[in-house]
Structure 1
Amino acid sequence: MNVEVFVLNKERNVTLTSLTQPVEGEFSFIKKRPAILIIPGGGYQMCSERESEIIAFEYLRVGYQAFVLRYSVKKDALWPNPLNDYEQAMRLIRSKADEWNIYEDKITVLGFSAGGHLASAAATMAKNRPNAALLGYAITTEDTVHECLLSAPSTWDKVDKNTCPCFIFATRTDDIVPITNSLKFMDALDKAGVAFESHIYGYGPHGFSSCKSAVTAPNISFCNRVPNWVDDSIEWLKDIFGDFDGEGGMTNPKYFSY
């Protein structure tokens, strides 16, 4: 595996970390890989380490090239700086698709909380939109996003027919980002005719990450199905992008049959 860190904006301390795997050779059955761009949460005040590289490894294990965006925070987060950070990161990934052996049309974005707000903005209003979006306890409403960044817009009302397919997961009892944020976004996707899958779990706190014992405090209580979101999102992405076919390509996606 090759790990590189690219400085996208030195003044705002914006970086993109790439974690890329080889193809061919021992992976003779793989010529290219899908990719995932991970956007950690942190209330636009920080980029959570619990939602960064440690999450990337969940997707590396199933064959993805993975990237982590550390975007503008605190005083540098004045909108649209974070969205511009995303745009720059996605342009870089797609510009190096051949070098990094990536399918340019199989790039998903995964965002958590405030990072989920940025991921949902990428899916709805970016110039360089992802091909799929995974939104974890994501902020999408104006009242919630304004609690951490007054200049940021709502995203649920920006959903249109060009929004990419989305996978949404959250808990009903989240006391930081109300479940309304997910419900409004889902309703907008449904009205726009955009394919999506949602997992709203019965109970659990905000910021549960992967729920693995190495990243979630032992005194945190969540229903035992919450950790399933990782594997469920991977299986959902197979519907959207297809799966490795063992002959150097990928199977046909099931998305168009939704």
Structure 2
Amino acid sequence: MPQLGFGVFQVPDDETAAAVTHALEAGYRSVDTAAIYGNETGVGRALAASGIPRDELFVTTKLWNADQGYDSTLRAFDDSLAKLGLDHVDLYLIHWPTPARDLYVDTWKAVETLVADGRVRTAGVSNFQPAHLQRLLDSSDLVPAVNQIELHPALQQRELRELHAVHSIATEAWSPLAQGAVLADPVIAAIAARHGKSAAQVVLRWHLQLGNVVIPKSVTPGRIRENIDVFDPEFVLSDAEMRSIERLDRGLRTGPDPDTLN
């Protein structure tokens, strides 16, 4: 899985094909969508038109909360696959645990079936807290390969990242720039000025050096190109710069709390 991919959250379906096409032309090979985004069809159109061999692409989609449960998961996956126009996805995620509904263990059993059938290459979860993850680990031999969580300098999720490390679960960051809320921070601005980079590039570089998988979203071609231009070997944050960003954690959520979203 590429460490830096392209997200399409909140991109209307009729704009998605163009945005994904710009991303593929800029060098992205990983695209992250979800059933609830309503734009799997647009993603599929862009992938089909790109001419890029399927084995060079990494496609992620997610199961929506209303479709949790064994049989409904299988039906929902078939629908997503048809919209994407693919015969498999590279990563399939349970979008939220919705703990009060208590369906995510049965849902995970359906995901196991999809993995066994070869239509899902890699299985994971999204927004799972330590207790939710531990319950899956206790009830299944299939360890989630990924947990996609809200993660940015203002919400660094150390406890979750430590649990991921113990079980070799990759940490994937959604809202990696906190929807722009961290970009005006003077610490990040000063680091950006020293490196001659944008604040967004500094935050993305911070993620990469932590080992996070990251999926920034944009529909602006220039910003799409800027977000992937973070692999210059001379662009490396120092230990002191990493520590200064670490001190920016203030528990700021831009999205729902996974323990209460049901």
Same fold (TM over 0.5): no
With CA pairs under 8 Å and 6+ residues apart, which has the higher RCO, 1 or 2?
A: 2
Identify, as 1 or 2, the structure richer in helix.
2
Task: Give the TM bin, normalised by the shorter chain.
Answer: 0.3 to 0.5
Between Structure 1 and Structure 2, which shows a larger proportion of strand residues?
1
Q: Which has the larger radius of gyration?
A: 2
TM-score by length of 2: 0.37
